[in-house]
Structures are given as C-alpha cells and as structure tokens.
C-alpha cells in the first residue's frame, strides 16, 4: 500500500510535473523538416529520437537520385517518429534555367520509386514558388519568382493533387512584396478551384497580419505552417543582412510569447495553423533544436487547450491523413 502510494506520487511528479502546466505537453508534430547533405542519416536520426517531437514529416535535400534511399535509412533508424514527404524541389526546380520538363519528371520519378519501394509516404515537401536571392557562403542563389500559374508550379501542384495529398507552397509575400496582391488573389482562386483539397503555406507565407485575416476569411482550405516565424529566425536575418532574405515574419513578442493579435487569430481559427519547425540546415538540427521545441511547447500553452492540440497535432493529422492519436496531454 505504502509502496503503491510512493509510486503514485512519483508518477505524478515525473509525469504531470515533468513539464509544468505552463507547457503544452500534448502530441507534437513537426509537419515539415528536411535532411540535407550537410548532416548524416545517423545524426538526423539521433536528433529525432532524442528530442521531444513525437512525429516529424521529413523531406530530403541533395541529389535526387539518393533521396528515397536516404529517407529509408532514416526511417529505419527512427521508426514511428518519421514519415516521408517526397521532395519536389530537387534537380534544380528552383533554378530558372532548368527546363520545366526535367524538374517535373524528377518529382514523378521520386513518387514512382517511393511506390515501388513500398515507402508509405505521407505527402510532398514544399513547392518553392518564390525564393529570394542569397549571397551566403552556404547558399549562392539568384532567386526565383514564379507565381501559382507558372508552368512548373501548376504542374507540380497537379502531381500532388492527383495523389490526393495536401499541397505545401512556399511563397514569400514580403521578400516579393510587389507581387503579394497577385499571389494572394491566386491563392483565393486556387482554393475555389479545388475546394476539397488543402493548401498549406510554408513559413506563414511571410504574410502580414491583415493579409492573414484576408486569407482566412476568403478561403477555408488554405492554412498556415508556422515555421521560421520566430525570434530565432529574426536573429539570424539580422546577422545575415545583405547576404540573405529579410522577409520572414514573427509571431512572437520579445519574451517568446505569441503576440496577442496572432494568439487571438489562432484561437479564433485553430484549424488554419499547422506547427512545423522546418529544420533545413545541419545547424537547425544540431544547435538549439531542443530549445526551439521547448520554446514552441511553452508558447502553445498560452492557447486554448483545443487550439494548441489542433495546431500541434490535430490539423496535420487531418490534412495529411496520418491516422495517429493526438493527445492534449500525454500524461496518462
Ligand atoms: Zn521553405
């Protein structure tokens, strides 16, 4: 009896109080991250296994010919903690001079290979519509500015729609401010044209608050992925001024809490936001990954309980048809 009591007390201490109630302790899905050539399968897998993200939807960068094999190897090492997003941006998709025919055929090849290799993929990685130029040691890049009707973009979107998966779009409304009206209107058109499909905008689309309200009011199947919309990214862009793009928006205040207006918008429209960290570079995985997860878990706790569960898990579960159980609190 005594023993039982002590065990119960310990159980309470170590489970419910492992995180205080100021922390979201529910299921946490990172709905889009990437493993690139600068990190090994073992390193990525170790980070996935040892950190408090329950499920990572993972895409792969680098040579397309290795992409599916890389994912398979990571999957072997991480078990149920990862699912695959077939990359859409390899073989020079984001280089203007690469022929459309070539880059589109590579997406289809990867999809076919995944099917033939029994990889139970969950969807496709982000389709890069716009990407600002970079002049960084890691990335020298002239930039690309498509819109949703550009041939390579509409064909990539079609491949994803034909497979009945949600379409993840990377647009940069701030870095390409002059085209933001056009892109917003095209998004509304897209939503009307495919009312039964879901579209997810990476990195909050670099959207302004008023534009986010516009999208939420004008559509019901276009949602926001929260990646790179935090203080961490703001620090990085300050450091990289002149070398890389500056348009990322910030959902947070100085203390890593959600800004009130965004918090309210999320609570009012909890189905329209999907949590993702989008680790891209080796540094994202290897430096400060645990802190970032902790920061998000802390911020999510400020939302209504149902909203935090939807944003951290439920929406990705629905849109990607993951079939997992989303817990508001993992304490049993
Ligand atoms: Zn992106």
* Mean per-residue pLDDT, 273-298: 97
What local confidence, expressed as pLDDT, does residue 186 receive?
98
Q: From the CA of 126, how far away is ligand 1's center (Å)?
A: 6
What local confidence, expressed as pLDDT, does residue 138 receive?
73
Asked whether residue 147 carries a pLDDT value surpassing 70, the answer given is yes
* Mean per-residue pLDDT, 99-120: 97
What local confidence, expressed as pLDDT, does residue 32 receive?
98
* Mean per-residue pLDDT, 190-216: 98
Q: From the CA of 59, how far away is ligand 1's center (Å)?
A: 11
* Mean per-residue pLDDT, 71-87: 98
Q: Which residues make Cβ contacts (< 8 Å) with residue 291, sequence separation at least 6?
A: none
Q: From the CA of 89, how far away is ligand 1's center (Å)?
A: 10
Read off the pLDDT of residues 176-186 as tens digits, 9 standing for 90 and up.
Answer: 999 999 999 99
* CA nearest to 129, candidates 163, 189, 89, 164: 89
DSSP state of 198: -
Q: Quickly state the pLDDT bin for 141 (edges 50, 70, 90).
A: confident
Q: From the CA of 204, how far away is ligand 1's center (Å)?
A: 10
DSSP string covering 201-217: EGGGGG--HHHHHHHHH
* Mean per-residue pLDDT, 277-287: 96
DSSP state of 82: E
Asked whether residue 6 carries a pLDDT value surpassing 70, the answer given is no
Hey, how many other C-beta atoms are within 10 angstroms of the C-beta on 208? 15
What local confidence, expressed as pLDDT, does residue 268 receive?
98
Q: From the CA of 152, how far away is ligand 1's center (Å)?
A: 17
* Mean per-residue pLDDT, 84-95: 96
* Mean per-residue pLDDT, 274-283: 96
pLDDT-wise least confident of 48-62, 240-254, 309-323: 240-254
More confident residue, 19 or 213: 213
With a pLDDT cut of 90, the percent of the chain lying above it is 86
Q: Quickly state the pLDDT bin for 134 (edges 50, 70, 90).
A: confident
What local confidence, expressed as pLDDT, does residue 20 receive?
55
What local confidence, expressed as pLDDT, does residue 28 receive?
98
Instruction: Please state, rounded to an integer, the average pLDDT across all residues of the chain.
Output: 93
Asked whether residue 34 carries a pLDDT value surpassing 80, the answer given is yes
d(CA 69, CA 118) in angstroms, rounded, equals 12
What local confidence, expressed as pLDDT, does residue 21 receive?
63
Q: Using an 8 Å Cβ cutoff, are 87 and 67 in contact?
A: yes
* Mean per-residue pLDDT, 294-309: 97
Asked whether residue 19 carries a pLDDT value surpassing 60, the answer given is no
Q: From the CA of 6, how far away is ligand 1's center (Å)?
A: 49
Q: Using an 8 Å Cβ cutoff, are 183 and 147 in contact?
A: yes
What local confidence, expressed as pLDDT, does residue 332 receive?
59
In the three-class reduction of DSSP (H, G, I as helix; E, B as strand; rest coil), residue 43 is classed as: helix
* Mean per-residue pLDDT, 265-285: 97
Helix, strand, coil percentages in the chain from 3-state DSSP, rounded to 5: 45, 15, 40
Burial of 235 (0-12, 13-18, 19+ CB in 10 A): exposed
Q: From the CA of 242, how far away is ligand 1's center (Å)?
A: 19
* Mean per-residue pLDDT, 182-206: 98
- Domains in the chain: ranges and CATH: 22-319 (3.20.20.140)
With a pLDDT cut of 70, the percent of the chain lying above it is 93
d(CA 83, CA 324) in angstroms, rounded, equals 12
What local confidence, expressed as pLDDT, does residue 204 receive?
98
What local confidence, expressed as pLDDT, does residue 12 receive?
47
Q: From the CA of 16, how far away is ligand 1's center (Å)?
A: 35
């Amino acid at each position: 009896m005594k023993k039982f009591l002590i065990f119960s007390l310990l159980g309470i201490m170590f489970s419910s109080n492992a995180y205080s109630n100021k922390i979201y302790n529910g299921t946490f899905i990172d709905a889009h991250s990437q493993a690139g050539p600068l990190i090994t399968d073992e390193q990525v897998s170790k980070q996935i296994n040892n950190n408090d993200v329950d499920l990572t939807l993972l895409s792969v960068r680098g040579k397309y010919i290795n992409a599916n094999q890389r994912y398979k190897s990571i999957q072997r090492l991480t078990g149920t903690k990862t699912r695959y997003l077939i990359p859409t941006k390899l073989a020079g998709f984001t280089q203007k001079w690469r022929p459309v025919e070539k880059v589109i055929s590579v997406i289809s090849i990867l999809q076919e290979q995944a099917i033939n290799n029994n990889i139970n993929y969950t969807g496709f990685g982000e389709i890069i519509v716009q990407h600002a130029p970079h002049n960084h040691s890691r990335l020298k890049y002239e930039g690309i500015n498509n819109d949703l009707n550009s041939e390579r973009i509409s064909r990539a979107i079609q491949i994803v729609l034909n497979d009945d998966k949600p379409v993840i779009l990377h647009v940069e409304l701030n870095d390409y401010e002059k085209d933001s009206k056009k892109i917003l209107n095209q998004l509304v058109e897209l939503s009307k044209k495919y009312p039964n499909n879901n579209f997810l905008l990476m990195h909050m689309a670099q959207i302004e608050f008023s534009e986010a309200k516009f999208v939420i009011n004008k559509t019901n199947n276009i949602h926001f992925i929260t990646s790179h919309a935090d203080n961490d990214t703001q620090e990085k862009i300050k450091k990289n001024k002149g070398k890389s793009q500056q348009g990322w928006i910030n959902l947070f205040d100085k203390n890593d809490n959600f800004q009130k207006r965004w918090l309210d918008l999320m609570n009012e429209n909890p189905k329209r936001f999907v949590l993702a960290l989008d680790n891209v570079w080796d540094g994202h995985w290897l430096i400060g990954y645990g802190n970032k997860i902790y920061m998000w878990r802390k911020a999510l706790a400020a939302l209504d309980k149902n909203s935090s569960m939807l944003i951290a898990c439920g929406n990705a579960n629905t849109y990607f048809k993951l079939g997992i159980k989303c817990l508001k609190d993992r304490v049993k």
